[in-house]
Copies of this chain bind each other. A is one copy, B any other.
Amino acid sequence: MSDTDSRGGAERIIEAAIDLFGRHGVHGTSLRSVAQQAGVSQALVVHHFGSKDGLLRACDHHVASVTRANKERTVAGGPQLDPFQTLRQLEKSQPLLRYLARALTEGGERTRELVDEFVADAHDYMRLAEEAGFVKPSATPHERTIVLVIWSMGALAMHSHVKRLLGVDFLADDAPPESLGPYLRPMLELFTQGLMQEGAFDQMTEMFEVPESISEREA
């Protein structure tokens, strides 16, 4: 909306689209509103991206490239429990994370590729962390990693409830690391001392003791 914006129109449009798609969903966002927020005409949006679906794909591609570029930063940061922690430290990460949170649930087939990439990365980190002696070995390492990624993604998708219930804002731009405490502290406690007493395990696993068909799964 500012008179002097050095960035090109297409770039401003994608930025506005990510913000509005994340805020109100795809169906709840019109090309008009995207154009208005970007300070351009609606026709220009179609001119650049062909259609609303084309704009959506461009947004996905943009988010994917940003997250991919951050993989190196994640690797350098040592063992990581939360795959989105490094994304949070990006500048202006709030709209991007909000878009990602929404895409994870209503994206359907579109987000499949991105999620698979998160899982693959997490698998690498877990293997490294296990070799470094940070995490314990598992009877089903593949499934365990998937469950952990699902929980992280799910918690991101539930960010509004997390903020209300714990006072932890996953989308905050300038949140200091210790502000995540009310979420991370019980998580770390669960991941060290566990949740259940020893006896409860055998009692509950009986129900799921099917032939070891799943353990065949491997990459």
Contacts and interface: CB of A to CB of B under 8 A. Distances in A.
Contacts of A69: none
Contact of A192 (B135, B157, B196): B196
Given A105-B105, A158-B153, A166 B193 contact: no
Contact of A191 (B27, B151, B195): B195
Copies of this chain, tallied across the complex: 2
Interface of A: 24-25, 27-28, 79, 101-102, 104-106, 108, 111-112, 115-116, 119, 133-136, 138-140, 143-144, 146-148, 150-151, 153-158, 160-162, 164-166, 176-178, 180-201, 204-205, 207-211, 214
A200 B108 contact: no
B140 A150 contact: no
Contacts of A143: 166, 182-183, 185-186
27 contacts: A24-B27, A25-B25, A27-B27, A102-B105, A105-B105, A111-B161, A116-B165, A133-B197, A136-B193, A138-B189, A140-B189, A143-B182, A146-B165, A146-B186, A147-B166, A147-B186, A147-B190, A150-B154, A154-B154, A176-B214, A177-B207, A178-B209, A181-B210, A188-B204, A188-B208, A190-B194, A192-B195
A154 B158 contact: yes
Contacts of A177: 207-208, 214
B133 A199 contact: yes
A194 B196 contact: no
